[in-house]
Amino acid sequence: MEAKPVYENTQLKPPNMLNIAKDILRDTERLVQYLSQNSLHVPTYDLNSTDRPDTEEYLSFQARLVANLEDLQYLVQGPKKAMRIMLCLGEDLAALQVAFQLNFFDHVPSSGAISVAELALKVGLDEDRLCRFIRILATHRIFTEQVPGYFSHTPSSILFHNDEDLKCTGQYILDEMFKAATESASCVQATPHQSDSIHSPFAIRHQVPLFKYYEQNPHHAKRFAKAMAGWTKCAVISPELCLFMPTNVQTQWIGTLISKEGFRGEFPQLSFVVQDLLPQMRVESNGDASTSVMDRVAFMQHDFFEPQPLKDVAAVLLRQVTHNWTDQEVVGIFKALVPTMESSKPGTPLLINDTVMPEPGRIPMHMERELRAIDMLMFVCLGAKQRTQLEFEELLRKADQRFVVHGGHVQGSLSLIEVHLEI
The span from the CA of 246 to the CA of 269, in Å, is 13
Q: How far is CA 283 from CA 138, 219, 260, 288, in A?
A: 36, 12, 11, 11
In angstroms, the CA 206 to CA 208 distance is: 6
Indicate the angle between helix axes 127-138 and 116-123, nearest 10 degrees: 110
Nearest Cα neighbor of 65 from 39, 38, 30, 36 is 30
Rounded Cα–Cα distance for residues 207 and 188 (Å): 16
Instruction: Classify residue 306 as exposed, middle or buried by CB count within 10 Å of its CB (0-12, 13-18, 19+).
Output: exposed
| CA 66 – CA 78 distance, rounded (Å) | 18
Question: CA 368, 373, 375: angle at the middle one, nearest 5?
Answer: 95
| C-alpha to C-alpha distances, 324 to 184, 194, 383, nearest whole angstrom | 17, 15, 8
Distances (CA, A) of 336 to 49, 245, 284, 342: 46, 23, 27, 11
97 in Cβ contact with 174 (< 8 Å) = yes
Annotated catalytic residue within 153, 302, 323, 409: 323
Known catalytic residue: 323?
yes
Catalytic residues: 323
